[in-house]
Amino acid sequence: MSLSLMAFGSVQSANPIVPGETWNDTRGARINAHGCCVVKHDGAYYWFGENRSGMTSMGVSCYRSTDFYSWENLGLAFKTSQALDPETGKGTLERPKVIYNDKTGKWVMYIHWEDGTGYGKARVCVATADNIEGPYEFSSTFRPNDHDSRDQTVFKDTDGKAYHFGSTDMNTNMNVALLSEDYLTTEQNPVTETKILLGLQYEAPAIFKVGDIYYGLFSGCTGWNPNPGHSAWSTEIMGTWNTGENFTVDNEKSTTYRSQSTYVLKLDGHDNAYVYMGDRWNSSNVETSTYVWLPLSMRSGYPVVKWLDRWDLSVFDDADRFKRPAEIVSGETYYFIEANSDRFMSLSNNQICLKNDNEAENMQLRFVAVEGKQYTYKMQEVTSGKYLEDLFGKTLRLSAESDSESQQWYLKQNEDGTYRVCGVTSGNCLTVSGSSTSEGVALYLTEPDDEKFQKFGVYFDTYARPDEAVADMFSAEYRAANRQIMADQEEYEAGLSSVGLVAAGSGMNISSTGDGMVIVDAAGVDGMVSVNVFEAASGRSVCSETFPGGESSQVDLGNCVAPGVYVVVATASTGSAVEKVIIR
Ligand code: GAL
């Protein structure tokens, strides 16, 4: 009994953050601070959030912590009773966000304000304090530049300007409004605002900046119910925002791990240490809603939040280990990280797939520039000594070195510094199976014009090569340099005689019935046809057969393979036909 209690106690203290579970304060009471923000000040963290009694809004709680795990309740920093509607005599305060104004020396709190009867007022409430923990004094309520404003946040930029982000036009668009110098209202001389993410119905904004790039996390518009999270980014806060992927990548990503975003906090001490903060709302008793806090990685250039059952700040210990090199040096070793999942190209059970950080499986590749070609490398897997090979434009495998161009890979530059990794013989590029980037998903090749999930960044191990120059991947200069490379590549490609041509005109056609039968139509072909079947994930040859041309032949794969994905290659004197088939 005492032994198991001790064991449990030690696990708890090692991993004190348990997403989605009730979190108690230092006095053992449930933390009541929803739709939060967390602000670091003078060595301590301050957690502000909605204090609810059941559904009733009581005000804005403030909790303080020096270790990020144990939170002391400092009471209500601002009370709903300080902001009652004169007609209803009630009020509701949601999603409080606190920023510091360097000019006035005041802490300024922006809150979504309603009159306690519903969501029709759609205003913000502003309150200010001399000390971060409050008490905050009521300043005003208003609609930012007369726009209805529901889910909201404020973002203070590195130049001291601050912006209000609010869901507007009945939650259809996101309005970004520059605040006045004192942050107490929106700037009026002149009004400076823009609507972004038009028509997308984004809510629950959480805005942060990395280098020169602004990032936003959002939820969809389904009330208290969770939905797939969204990300967006822009190089100009008032410019066009680009939509990105769902920032959650594991089981339950369709509900953002049953949460809605509210804040992203950058932690000190590491480049790549961010915390995603979301609410798992209980719509019948908001007071008991729980908090989903998880590490957020920006390593791939995009926000990625993986699920952890429980964690502590040591998860960030190696957060800065793998970085993008300032340039690829022939002969050096690198890793590929997929941009939308932050997962490594890995080798697991003979399959080339995506995996979380894991030294045993993440593939370390020695890049060797191909002589006489640009942007083109052979990639030797360090442990096996084998080379990454393009298998008929459908999949990839590791093989002993050969002179074949199928072991040459063209790195096609993207503006964000990632690449499409394309086989020289086929022109086809690395992708994932389906649209999943979950742990263990197999990698394949797909047509170069397929825009989805083809972005891989090149990384090196800074622990092994601490002195190697790192790319400043969030800078405007980096993007500009990459645009130049893209232009150079276009010229280079135009000058090439043949890129990306799969042998065409073999006169054969491969189709599949899905239940194991593959039909090779070789009616127009003379001589023998040989059919070879490869397991797509590993490139392993699994069966082969020959038959005379001039007819259509059925090959029963059910005899030689288990359900899965295969590459079927039919070769005749006229050339080869290749098809990816799925056996169910
Ligand atoms: C959610 C929002 C919550 C609350 C709720 C009311 O979309 O994130 O803060 O306003 O709607 O239905």
Which atom of ligand 1 approaches the CA of 221 most closely? 7
In this structure, the number of other CB atoms found within 10 A of the CB of residue 29 comes to 9
**What b-and-e string marks burial along 300-339, b requiring 16 or more CB atoms within 10 Å of the CB?**
bbbbbbbbbeebebebbeebbebbbbeebeeebbbbbbbb
Of 47, 43, 39, 45, give the one whose Cα is nearest residue 63: 47
Atom 7 in ligand 1: residue holding the nearest Cα: 223
pLDDT at 502: 38
pLDDT band of residue 487 (cuts 50, 70, 90) is: very high
In whole angstroms, give the CA distance from residue 278 to residue 36. Answer: 8
- Please report, for residues 183, 394, 437, 566, 567, the alpha-carbon distance to residue 541 in angstroms, rounded to integers and kept in the order given: 66, 14, 26, 10, 9
Which atom of ligand 1 approaches the CA of 150 most closely? 10
Is residue 179 within 8 A of residue 162, CB to CB? The reply is yes
**pLDDT tens-place string over residues 212-253:** 999 999 999 999 999 999 999 999 999 999 999 999 999 999
User: Does the beta carbon of 35 sit less than 6 angstroms from any atom of ligand 1?
Assistant: yes
Of 580, 572, 574, 534, give the one whose Cα is nearest residue 553: 572
Of 266, 246, 265, give the one whose Cα is nearest residue 257: 246
Among 14-23, 64-73, 515-524, whose mean pLDDT is lowest? 515-524
Q: Which residue is listed with tokens 């805005």?
A: 207
> What is the residue type of 151?
D
pLDDT band of residue 49 (cuts 50, 70, 90) is: very high
Q: Which residue is listed with tokens 């000190």?
A: 268
Is residue 393 within 8 A of residue 427, CB to CB? The reply is yes
pLDDT at 13: 55
Q: In what order do the strands lie in the sheet with 203-210?
A: 203-210, 213-219, 230-234, 242-243
Cα 542 to ligand 1 centroid, rounded to whole Å? 54
Kindly state the average pLDDT of the residues 304-324: 97
In whole angstroms, give the CA distance from residue 52 to residue 33. Answer: 8
pLDDT at 14: 63
In whole angstroms, give the CA distance from residue 78 to residue 73. Answer: 13
In this structure, the number of other CB atoms found within 10 A of the CB of residue 493 comes to 14
**pLDDT tens-place string over residues 373-398:** 999 999 999 999 999 999 999 999 99
pLDDT at 451: 66
Can the peptide bond before residue 135 be classed as cis, meaning omega within 30 degrees of 0? yes
Q: What percent of the chain has pLDDT over 90?
A: 77
pLDDT at 510: 84
pLDDT at 497: 55
Cα 82 to ligand 1 centroid, rounded to whole Å? 22
Per-chain mean pLDDT for the chain: 92
Among 4-13, 38-47, 551-560, whose mean pLDDT is lowest? 4-13
Which atom of ligand 1 approaches the CA of 94 most closely? 9
**pLDDT tens-place string over residues 153-198:** 999 999 999 999 999 999 999 999 999 999 999 999 999 999 999 9
pLDDT at 11: 39
In 395-442 the beta strands, taken as DSSP E runs, fall at 395-399, 409-413, 419-423, 429-432
User: Does the beta carbon of 463 sit less than 6 angstroms from any atom of ligand 1?
Assistant: no
pLDDT at 402: 95
299: helix, strand or coil: coil
Which residues does residue 41 pair with via DSSP β-bridges, in sequence order? 44
In whole angstroms, give the CA distance from residue 339 to residue 326. Answer: 18
Q: What percent of the chain has pLDDT over 70?
A: 95
pLDDT at 330: 98
**pLDDT tens-place string over residues 81-127:** 999 999 999 999 999 999 999 999 999 999 999 999 999 999 999 99
Is residue 342 within 8 A of residue 303, CB to CB? The reply is no
Cα 283 to ligand 1 centroid, rounded to whole Å? 9
Kindly state the average pLDDT of the residues 434-454: 81
pLDDT at 8: 40
**pLDDT tens-place string over residues 286-295:** 999 999 999 9
Among 277-281, 320-324, 354-358, 427-431, whose mean pLDDT is lowest? 427-431
Kindly state the average pLDDT of the residues 8-17: 59
For the cut 80, the answer to whether the pLDDT of residue 420 exceeds it is yes
Q: Give the distance, in angstroms, between the CA of residue 378 and the centroid of all CA atoms in the same chain.
A: 29
Give me the domains of the chain, ranges plus CATH numbers: 34-316 (2.115.10.20), 322-496 (2.80.10.50), 509-583 (2.60.40.3080)
pLDDT band of residue 144 (cuts 50, 70, 90) is: very high
Cα 148 to ligand 1 centroid, rounded to whole Å? 14
In whole angstroms, give the CA distance from residue 202 to residue 225. Answer: 14
Sign of CA dihedral 555, 561, 564, 568: negative
Cα 260 to ligand 1 centroid, rounded to whole Å? 9
> What is the residue type of 282?
N
In whole angstroms, give the CA distance from residue 124 to residue 93. Answer: 9
Is residue 258 within 8 A of residue 292, CB to CB? The reply is yes
pLDDT at 7: 37
Can the peptide bond before residue 19 be classed as cis, meaning omega within 30 degrees of 0? no
